[in-house]
Amino acid sequence: MRIRLEPATRSIRRSPLWVCLLITLALASCIPGSDEDPGTTASSAAASTDLNVSFSEAMAHRTRVVILGTGTPNADPERSGPAVAVVVDDQAFIFDAGPGVVRRAAKAARDLDIPALQAQNLNQVFITHLHSDHTLGLPDILLSPWVLDRPDRLKVVGPPGIDAMMGHIVMAYDADIDRRINGLEPRDANRDSYIPDVVETEGGVVYEDSDVRIEAIPVTHGDWSFSFAYKVTGPDRTIVISGDAAPSEPIVEACDGCDLLVHEIYSGERFVTRPPEWQAYHSVFHTSPEQLADIATRAGAQKLVLYHQLYWGTDDEGLVSEMRAAGWTGPLQSAVDLGVY
Ligand SMILES: [Zn+2]
Ligand SMILES: [Zn+2]
């Protein structure tokens, strides 16, 4: 993937031509937009993985996936908490709200030129399950865009328990909300937009308009009673996002030839180095490369994107190698934050 953001390309274009020519003679690399362009953090990291679709090709679709955070509970500063945006034209649907979600969305809006991800446009979020790494950003996505004049209330879809969680969040910030409404901040235009519109679901269709249909797909995630994958059927692409899942047959059925399967994974090679009690945990909560290769193959996924990766010391190349060794032969990328697929 070659994402060329304006600051990087602009700095090259600003160089006087003679400087460029001299350096070109010396290094044969000072050509605006050349393959040597280091691009951004996202492109640099993405460039090291298995690449089949360029940024511009992904952006050409009406239905695009923008990975806002690939992280896990591990506090990797390069990987924000799990959050995936599906952007259909000028509408953004956010799946999970890991820590950092609003700032990652703001960076995508600014650096990738996706206005739907500006803070004040973040008005719907779909939660896969109630684990803290997937929900710590809920106060952020509820309140930060409100303070920034989001006109709409935030629609929150999630499993049973999400209503209580949102209620507790509003209560926790009661003093702040009171001051922002009744203090000196001009808040008349959107004074009630801090109140979330919450829909609890046990699975099924949770959103539908003339272009987009979203289904919550119950999956297996250890001892959680409810954990969902989400299937987004857009005008030109169908996308399935696993959330956290042990191998789950409903994902195979939901994908059924889908254009993009965004699926969690842990390193099978590093799994064996984990303490036995953690091996027992991960084997019932998450998915190994062998299991994912089987799922994606039987699902007929047109492209597989790994996210929420548990590396335990390996890296994106390592996970890609493990997937190839496990038998997945289709298009494959190990996602980075702000990768577009
Ligand atoms: Zn989880
Ligand atoms: Zn998780």
Q: Which domains does the chain have, with CATH numbers?
A: 1-39 (no CATH), 42-334 (3.60.15.10)
Predicted local confidence at residue 57, as pLDDT: 85
Kindly state the tokens that stand for 139.
């106060």
The ligand placed nearest to the CA atom of residue 245 is: 1
Predicted local confidence at residue 53, as pLDDT: 54
Q: How far is the CA of 129 from the centre of ligand 1 (A)?
A: 7
Q: How far is the CA of 9 from the centre of ligand 2 (A)?
A: 36
**Which protein residues have their CB within 5 A of the ion that is ligand 1?**
131, 244
Per-residue burial over 57-84, b if 16 or more Cβ lie within 10 Å, else e, is: ebeebebbbbbbbbbbeeeeeebbbbbb
CA distances in angstroms from 65 to 29, 30, 60, 307, 338, listed in the order given? 32, 32, 12, 12, 9
Maximum distance among all Cα pairs of the chain, rounded to whole angstroms: 66
Q: How far is the CA of 72 from the centre of ligand 1 (A)?
A: 9
The ligand placed nearest to the CA atom of residue 310 is: 2
The ligand placed nearest to the CA atom of residue 285 is: 1
| Distance between CA atoms of residues 114 and 107, nearest Å | 9
Q: How far is the CA of 71 from the centre of ligand 2 (A)?
A: 8
Predicted local confidence at residue 207, as pLDDT: 98
Q: How far is the CA of 127 from the centre of ligand 2 (A)?
A: 11
Q: How far is the CA of 35 from the centre of ligand 1 (A)?
A: 39
Contact present, 244 and 286 (Cβ < 8 Å)? yes
The ligand placed nearest to the CA atom of residue 81 is: 2
Predicted local confidence at residue 55, as pLDDT: 82
Which pLDDT tens digits describe the chain residue by residue (341 residues)? 333 333 322 332 333 333 333 333 333 333 322 222 222 334 434 444 444 457 888 889 999 999 999 999 999 999 999 999 999 999 999 999 999 999 999 999 999 999 999 999 999 999 999 999 999 999 999 999 999 999 999 999 999 999 999 999 999 999 999 999 999 999 999 999 999 999 999 999 999 999 999 999 999 999 999 999 999 999 999 999 999 999 999 999 999 999 999 999 999 999 999 999 999 999 999 999 999 999 999 999 999 999 999 999 999 999 999 999 999 999 999 999 999 99
